[in-house]
């Protein structure tokens, strides 16, 4: 099944700035402030595409562009892509997502992502995700719950992922400390609980975000058994 589910950095480390990330709902990037509709996008170059602790690029470099269109009501649609290596078909993953986000002191994001693997439609699948976030002093914290309902391409089994993230800005500097922790169980873990975690630094430099994170998981993936060992992942991203 999915060489992908193993993807979240997602957007984490991609969560931390796009170093892995993954699918990703309202992707974070600077937005132009005019009109009821805003368009944001960008791209990241990562030394290893990690999704929930597992490498989907065979520990190789990946390029990950993304684009999001959002209405002032909170509705948004977008796409995120990456080259991959753990796929029997074309070496490409395309995540199509849509949802609704908003909030001030407590932010929320509810949406769905359709994971597409051109040339291997037998592994495409849908995942639903809810996220909550808040700012506590210099820290921004968030939690997410992602659910993959039973479907043909998941072996008629469901999958559950619970993740958390925290970003702490270092005072008087462009540097932030970023950490993530997640637990997964279901179709993509053969019924065994799997933990993944990351800890790293991001730095905003001349419009770019530079990142370096340690990524690990306690269980080898059934999709990429050799690519779940701990690694230091580097990234550079730019958003508009």
Tens-digit pLDDT profile for residues 59-75: 899 999 999 999 999 99
**Residue 183 placed within a domain:** yes
**Residue 100 placed within a domain:** yes
**Residue 15 placed within a domain:** no
Average pLDDT rounded to a whole number, residues 98-126? 94
Length of the chain: 240
**Residue 26 placed within a domain:** no
Q: What is the pLDDT of residue 222?
A: 58
Would you say residue 35 has pLDDT above 50?
yes
- Cα 31-34-39 angle, rounded to 5 deg: 40
Domain range for 98 is 37-239
Identify which of 128, 49, 52, 113 has the alpha carbon closest to the alpha carbon of residue 87.
49
Please report how many Cα atoms fall inside a 13 Å half-sphere around the Cα of residue 195, on the Cβ side: 5
For 38-95, what is each residue's pLDDT tens digit?
Answer: 999 999 999 999 999 999 898 899 999 999 999 999 999 999 999 998 655 568 999 9
**Residue 78 placed within a domain:** yes
**Residue 17 placed within a domain:** no
Q: 16 pLDDT band (50/70/90 cuts)?
A: very low
Would you say residue 5 has pLDDT above 50?
no
Q: What is the pLDDT of residue 17?
A: 36
**Residue 171 placed within a domain:** yes
**Residue 24 placed within a domain:** no
Q: What is the pLDDT of residue 15?
A: 39
Q: Domain holding 210: CATH number? A: 2.40.160.40
Q: Please give the tally of structural domains in the chain.
A: 1
């Amino acid at each position: 099944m999915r060489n992908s589910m193993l993807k979240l950095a997602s957007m984490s480390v991609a969560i931390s700035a796009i170093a892995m990330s993954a699918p990703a709902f309202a992707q974070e990037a600077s937005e132009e402030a005019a009109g009821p509709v805003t368009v944001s996008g960008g791209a990241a170059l990562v030394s290893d595409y990690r999704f929930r602790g597992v490498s989907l690029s065979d520990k190789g470099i990946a390029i990950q562009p993304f684009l999001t269109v959002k209405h002032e009501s909170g509705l948004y649609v977008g796409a995120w892509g990456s080259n991959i290596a753990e796929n029997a078909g074309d070496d490409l993953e395309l995540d199509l997502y849509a949802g609704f986000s908003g909030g001030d002191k407590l932010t929320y994001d509810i949406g769905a992502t359709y994971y597409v693997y051109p040339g291997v439609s037998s592994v495409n699948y849908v995942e639903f995700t809810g996220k909550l976030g808040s700012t506590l002093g210099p820290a921004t914290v968030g939690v997410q719950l992602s659910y993959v309902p039973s479907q043909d391409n998941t072996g008629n089994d469901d999958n559950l992922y619970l993740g958390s993230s925290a970003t702490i800005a270092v005072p008087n500097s462009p540097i932030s400390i970023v950490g993530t922790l997640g637990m997964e169980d279901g179709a993509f873990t053969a019924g065994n609980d799997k933990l993944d975690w990351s800890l790293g630094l991001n730095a905003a430099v001349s419009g770019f975000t530079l990142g370096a994170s340690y990524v690990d998981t306690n269980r080898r993936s059934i999709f990429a058994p050799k690519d779940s060992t701990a690694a230091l992942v580097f990234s550079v991203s730019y958003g508009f």
